[in-house]
Amino acid sequence: MKALILLGKAQESLIKKIISSSHDKCVVFSVYDTDIKGAVFIGGWAWLYNYIEISCALRECCKSQYLELYTPHFVNFVANILLLKCKNIRAFFLYDGILNFRKVGWASRSLRKTILLNRIKSLFYLSVFRSVGQKINDESAQCVWGAVFPESLSDHDFDFSKKIFFIDDGFDADIDLDLEVVMVLEPVLYSKPELIFLAEYIKKFCTGRSIRKIVLKTHPRCNKSLLLDFFSDSFDVISLVGDVEPAEKLFFKYKPAYVLGDYSSALLNIKSVNSAVNAYSYGPLLRDVSPDLESVVGVMKGQGVLFFERT
């Protein structure tokens, strides 16, 4: 039996591929609405109001003679419960972008609120949340057997001690790009002065390249565009807000010749599947590169992503 934890829409194609090639029963737990048949919704307050369905799915997984768990990390309460309650389990990490190039420890300040919430959820399902290894996706844990990555990244030399299985993510890279279109992957934690500075920089970038259309893709956690008001008077703007298709799919829909983003998993993925796109990171414009991001920057540069510099 397989249990698959869907935490980001960009992982959806990988999960569908795993399901289609599997002879075992597959149970998908998803924090997003998905068209995967029979997926158990665990996002938002579903952990509370969807208690019976989640409990039944967890019980079925735990009663299985063996379980293959596919998850980006062990922070999510469902993955944590299955890992601790299932006796015969093999865990595989699903590709989760830049998380796979960073060493994110359980004591990370940015994770404190998330871990606390998942501790509460675990108690609700009569389980005690526990950290596994030193990192939230620690391959040294005995239960971890490998990882599943998109085939577009197969040329990378990953710092991963277990076996990596590469799966075709279904993206067709052979497309003609529109030189008058830019896609901007919006940030999520920028202050207003930072947004103003970034918007002016992007305006100059677009004006110098005769850009006609800007496609703004917000972060999934944002319910409104942060940059729309800065560009609506000067460009033809398409604003995609909230829980829409992942940026990788939108790239193939709008075919922008330029894609701009922060230290972004989506930016890295887009450059990986289409080497012709002009991918730029605006991350260094406002903030120094933290030590835990240095390896991420190295991977992005190795893939061909360019970085804006402060002037």
pLDDT in tens, 241-261: 876 678 888 998 999 999 999
Query: Element (H or E) spanning 161, and its range?
Result: none
Tell me what pLDDT residue 24 has: 95
Evaluate if pTM is beyond 0.75. Answer: yes
Q: Considering the chain, what percentage of its residues have pLDDT values greater than 70? A: 96
How many whole angstroms from its chain centre is CA 186?
A: 14
Residue whose tokens read 């804006």: 308
For range 127-139, the mean pLDDT: 91
| pLDDT greater at residue 271 or residue 273 | 271
State the residue for tokens 């994770």. Answer: 111
Find the mean pLDDT for residues 212-232: 88
What pLDDT is attached to residue 241?
86
pLDDT of residue 86: 93
SS (H, E, C) 121-150: HHHHCCCCCCCCCCECCCCCCCCEEEEEEE
**pLDDT of res. 114:** 93
Query: Domain locations in the chain?
Result: 2-167, 178-307
Task: Annotate 300-311 with DSSP letters as a single string.
Answer: HHHHT-EE----
Say which residue the tokens 């103003």 belong to.
Answer: 196
Predicted confidence at residue 130, as pLDDT, reads 94
d(CA 73, CA 94): 8
More confident residue, 106 or 152: 106
CA angle centred on 81, ends 42 and 147, rounded to 5°: 85
- Dist. CA 188–CA 262, nearest whole Å: 10
Please give the pLDDT value at position 154.
78
* Element counts in the chain: helices (H) and strands (E): 10, 13
> Does 3.30.70.380 match the CATH number of domain 178-307?
no
- Note the pLDDT tens digit of each residue in 60-99: 999 999 999 999 999 999 999 999 999 899 999 998 877 7
Tokens of 93: 């990490």
pLDDT beyond 90 at 275: no
- Rounded Cα–Cα distance for residues 6 and 31 (Å): 6
Closest to 98 measured CA to CA, from 46, 137, 49: 137
Q: Is 204 exposed, middle or buried, given 0-12, 13-18 or 19+ CB atoms closer than 10 A?
A: exposed
Whether the per-residue pLDDT at 150 is higher than 90: the answer is no
Q: Is the pLDDT of residue 174 over 70?
A: no
Q: Which of 163-172, 204-213, 248-257, 261-270 has the lowest mean pLDDT?
A: 163-172
Q: Is the pLDDT of residue 172 over 70?
A: no
Between CA 180 and CA 278 the distance in angstroms is 12
Q: What is the pLDDT of residue 170?
A: 65
At 298 the pLDDT is: 83
Task: Assess whether pLDDT exceeds 90 at residue 305.
Answer: yes
Closest CA to 167 of 217, 268, 231, 95: 95
CA–CA dist 108, 130 (Å, integer) = 15
Provide the pLDDT for residue 99.
Answer: 77
Q: What is the mean pLDDT of residues 173-181?
A: 86
Instruction: For residues 125-133, give the mean pLDDT.
Output: 94
The candidate with the shortest Cα–Cα distance to 85, out of 39, 34, 44, 143, is 143
Rounded Cα distance, 20 and 37, in Å:
12
**pLDDT over 90 at 182, yes or no:** yes
- Judged against a pLDDT cut of 80, whether residue 287 lies above it is answered with no
Amino acid letter for position 200: E
Map tokens 């108690």 to a residue: 123
Do the beta carbons of residue 160 and residue 149 sit within 8 Å? no
